[in-house]
Every structure is written in C-alpha cells, then in structure tokens.
C-alpha cells in the first residue's frame, strides 16, 4: 500500500512521470505476480507484463483511489490470465524447467531470500491446487488484499458467493494440511 | 473467523488448531519475497513507449532550471548547508510545489556551516530508525514536500540530481525515497504516541509483529489497515508498540472496539472506460467473464 501519497503518484504517472509509475509498479507488482502464479502459473511473468502494458494504456482513463486502482489492476490481471489460459489450450507449450535457465545474479541475502521464496512458492502452489474458482477467490482476498465486495466485482459474483467460495477454500486447505502433517 | 483469516487480521494463536497451518500458509502467500526480479527497466521502457508525456517541455522549464542553478551551490556547500536549508524549508510554505522548491533551494546560499540541523543529518544512521526520529530531519521533510507534493501537475518530482541525491542519501537509497517521504509525512501528521489503538487493531498489530519477527511480510490486509491507521508503512512499528502498550494498560474499561473502519471499504471503484483504441487486443476487463 502506498497510502496518502498515492493520488500524487498516480497524477504524476499520468503526466508521464516514470519515477511515479515505478512507485506504483513496485508497490503492486509483487502481489500481482503472486496472484498470477496461482491462477496462471506457467505464464505469470509474461502475463504480468501484459497487465502493465494495459495499465499504461489505460492510466489516463482511470479514475479512483488506491483501492480502486488495485481492483482495476487485478481485474485486468484476471482477464489476461484467462486469455493466457485459452491461448495455452490452443497452442500448448512445454515450459523450460527452472533448473535449465541461466542463473540470475545474487541478491543481497540469497539464502534468506531463497527460504522466504520457497515458503511463498509452496503457499502459492497450495492455493493453486484448490478448485479454480476457490483458488481465484482466495488469491484475490489474501494476495491482492481485496475485500469480498471488490472480489465479487472482479469475478462477476455476488459477495455472498465469494465468501462461500473462500470459506470452502480455507476448509479444503485446512484438510489438505492436516492430511499432510498427520500421516 | 474465516473472513478474519482471509483478511489476515488474526494471529495463528487465535484460531482453531486445525486452521493454524492455514493462517501460516496464507501469510506466506501474502508475503513479498524480497527477491524482486530486475524487470523494472523493461517495464519502464513499456511505460515510456505507451505513455509519452505530452507536456514535457513545459514541465522542464521553470522548476528544473531553478533547481539546476541553485543546486550547484547546494552541492558546493555540502551537507553543512542542509540543516539551514532545511529549517527554511519547513517554515510555512506556500501551497504550490514550485514555491516550496524555490524556498528550499533559495535558503541554501545563506547557509552557515555546522548548524545543529547539519549534525542531525550527518549523525543520522538509517538502521532500525523508527518514525519518531524523522522530525530531526527538517530539511528532508521540506525536500519530500517538494518532491512528492500531491498538487498534481507541476511538482517537485523534477528535483534535480543534487537535491535528489540528498534525499536518496537520507532515505538510504534512491528506490526508498517514496516510502521514506511517506513515513516522514506520516510521522509529522501522526505522532506515534497519539495512536488510540482500539482492540480491533491490536490483533492486526500482533500479527504484524509476529510476521516482522519471523522476517516475513505481513498479510496485505493487515498492512493495509495498519498503514492507514499509522499513517504510513514505516510508522507501523512505533504505532503498534503504542497500540499494544495501551492494550495492556490499566484502563481495562476502554470502550470496546472502535467502529471497525475498513480502509478500503466503500472505495468508489472506477475502472477506465471500455473504449480501447487498439482493436487488436482481446476483451477489456469491464465485462467480467466467469471462469468455467
């Protein structure tokens, strides 16, 4: 969350200020990527790039506050993820396993970051393993930080339905985790 | 309970045993791994190609020239000047960001070395500094004001390299200026002590502190609530200390739970209109398509 300065950054980004846009990007992109890893794991990075392209194009027409901006970005993300899934169904590609990719330069704390990233990856995989409608709703609630009404607008369902789906998702997660540790 | 788990406002000790792991998993899912892929340059290139500033020449004119000329003096006078420039900058300033910037820079040539402000600046270390010590940096507050003023259009984001460098040094890196300036603003308008907690927020604070202790990022919803309540992300730590201290305090008969204000409750959401100029792209987000 950017908070009080959001309106200023948004206005500046609209005026073409790259730094202001970078502030918006930095704030939201990590959550966007995590959301896409749940709903479109194979194409998360590419889809995120498409989302930002569309956000750049639509910035002039966007009206609203930070919560509205988040809602909008995740609405775009969901649509692009659905497009990506359709495209993948038409033209299946076999993604290259990560261990065959060239290594990236190390960050400040590679070990800590790796542990942290591992925990996040596992968590995202667990959510992604839920039935798609539950996974999507849980991801929007938890990762995007949106409330049931906002999620309802994005997925085209009533807030009550969103709640039911999310609660089912939690129950299923709890069952799954109990089975995993209880063996 | 389920909604609070989803909001991330509940600590794992406060949920039924079967849901503790769920809370942990969701906290991990909501956490940002610190390893941010270096694609920002590419994203900015996209932004540039799509979103060319229409009025670039005008925007460059007055403010940046002004800053350009004056900031040379600032560079020569070095850090000693900052304190005085700073003091001037924090005085009552006109609203227009341009005027703010003018004040800040205009103060520089009069700077006398080794003011106490300068000492405050140079002695500052960026470590675990809480929000409460921002007031020791009046110059930075002024620069921030010029830099991030929400007056739209013509504002201090055109701070030139020297002024920007000073701000970056105080923030601990160019990338941290935004967050830093927001915390400066937050600590100015929300002294941490004044946080009248509310039981509602103590749960959020506890889960924030737990996340902080474990080195995880807190859940997005917790962060959102506390950022709003504390007035800035960097002000959360002292804010929560105050809230939890108050929570344990003697006044047990405090009015229970302030009306649970959601920071994002009734936000008018207004996605941009449908009309896309480019016909080559598929559906715009407006008509939500349920996933099969």
Cβ <8 Å between A170 and B281: no
Cβ <8 Å between B282 and A132: no
Q: How many CB pairs below 8 Å do chains A and B form together? A: 267
Cβ <8 Å between A177 and B22: yes
Q: CA geometry: angle at B231 spanning B226 and B232, to 5°?
A: 80
Asked whether the beta carbons of A165 and A133 are under 8 A apart, the reply is yes
Between residues A50 and B236, the one the model is more confident about = A50
Cβ <8 Å between B30 and A104: no
- Judged by a CB distance cut-off of 8 A, whether residue A46 touches chain B is no
In the structure, what pLDDT confidence band is assigned to residue A96 with cuts at 50, 70 and 90?
low
Structure confidence by residue, pLDDT tens digits, B241-254? 877 776 665 444 44
Q: What is the ipTM of this complex?
A: 0.80
Q: What is the CA radius of gyration of chain B?
A: 23
Least CB–CB distance from A177: residue in B25, B33, B40 = B25
Listed in sequence order, the residues at least 6 apart from A151 whose beta carbon sits closer than 8 Å to its beta carbon are A137, A140, A141, A144, A159, A162
Q: Is the pLDDT of residue A34 over 80?
A: yes
Q: What is the mean pLDDT of residues B26-46?
A: 72
- Judged by a CB distance cut-off of 8 A, whether residue A37 touches chain B is no
Q: What is the pLDDT of residue A117?
A: 78
In the structure, what pLDDT confidence band is assigned to residue B170 with cuts at 50, 70 and 90?
confident
Q: Residue by residue, what is the 3-state secondary structure of A13-65?
A: HHCCCHHHHHHHHHHHHHHHHHHHHHHCHHHHHHHHHHHHHHHHHHHHHCCCC
Above pLDDT 70, what percent of chain B?
34
- Judged by a CB distance cut-off of 8 A, whether residue A125 touches chain B is no
Q: Is the pLDDT of residue B67 over 60?
A: no
Q: What is the pLDDT of residue A28?
A: 92
Structure confidence by residue, pLDDT tens digits, B72-89? 444 544 444 444 444 444
In the structure, what pLDDT confidence band is assigned to residue A144 with cuts at 50, 70 and 90?
very high
Structure confidence by residue, pLDDT tens digits, B188-216? 554 443 344 445 677 888 888 888 877 77
Chain A residues close to B161, C-beta within 8 Å: none
Q: Whole-angstrom Cα distance, residue B232 to residue B39?
A: 26
Asked whether the beta carbons of A65 and B267 are under 8 A apart, the reply is yes
CA distances A37 to A22, A51, B7, B194, Å, are 22, 14, 20, 40
Chain A residues close to B38, C-beta within 8 Å: 104
């Amino acid at each position: 969350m950017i908070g009080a300065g959001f309106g200023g950054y948004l206005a500046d980004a609209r005026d073409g200020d790259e730094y202001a846009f970078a502030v918006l990007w930095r704030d939201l992109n990590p959550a966007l990527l995590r959301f896409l890893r749940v709903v479109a794991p194979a194409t998360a990075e590419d889809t995120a790039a498409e989302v930002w392209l569309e956000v750049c194009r639509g910035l002039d027409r966007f009206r609203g506050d930070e919560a509205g901006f988040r809602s909008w970005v995740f609405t775009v993300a969901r649509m692009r993820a659905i497009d990506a899934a359709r495209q993948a169904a038409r033209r299946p590609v076999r993604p290259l396993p990560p261990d065959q990719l060239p290594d990236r330069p190390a960050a400040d704390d590679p070990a800590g970051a790796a542990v942290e990233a591992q925990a996040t990856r596992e968590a995202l995989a667990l959510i992604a393993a839920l039935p798609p409608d539950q996974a999507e709703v849980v991801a929007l609630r938890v990762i995007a930080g949106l409330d049931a009404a906002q999620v309802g607008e994005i997925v085209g369902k009533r807030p009550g339905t969103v709640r039911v789906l999310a609660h089912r998702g939690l129950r299923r997660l709890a069952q799954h985790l109990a089975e995993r540790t209880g063996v | 309970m389920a909604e609070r788990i989803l909001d991330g406002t509940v600590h794992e000790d406060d949920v039924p045993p079967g849901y503790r792991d769920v809370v942990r998993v969701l906290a991990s899912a909501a956490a940002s791994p610190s390893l941010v892929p270096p694609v920002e340059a590419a994203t900015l290139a996209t932004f540039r190609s799509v979103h060319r500033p229409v009025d670039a020449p005008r925007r460059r004119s007055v403010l940046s020239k002004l800053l350009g000329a004056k900031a040379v003096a600032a560079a020569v006078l070095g850090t000693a000047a900052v304190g005085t420039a700073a003091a001037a900058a924090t005085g009552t300033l006109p609203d227009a960001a341009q005027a703010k910037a003018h004040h800040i820079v205009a103060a520089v040539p009069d700077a006398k070395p080794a003011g106490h402000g300068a000492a405050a600046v140079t002695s500052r270390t960026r470590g675990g500094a809480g929000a409460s010590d921002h007031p020791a940096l009046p110059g930075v507050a002024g620069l921030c004001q010029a830099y991030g003023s929400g007056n739209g259009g013509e504002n201090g984001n055109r701070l030139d390299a020297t002024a920007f460098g000073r701000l970056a040094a105080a923030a601990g890196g160019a990338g941290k200026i935004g967050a830093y300036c927001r915390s400066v603003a937050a600590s100015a308008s929300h002294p941490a002590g004044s946080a009248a907690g509310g039981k509602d927020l103590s749960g959020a604070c506890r889960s924030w502190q737990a996340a902080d202790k474990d080195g995880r990022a807190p859940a997005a919803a917790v962060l959102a609530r506390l950022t709003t309540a504390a007035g800035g992300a960097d002000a959360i730590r002292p804010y929560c200390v105050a809230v939890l201290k108050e929570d344990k305090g003697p006044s047990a008969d405090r009015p229970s739970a302030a009306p649970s204000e959601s920071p994002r409750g009734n936000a008018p959401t207004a996605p941009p209109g449908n009309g896309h100029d480019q016909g080559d792209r598929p559906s715009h987000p407006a008509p939500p398509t349920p996933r099969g």
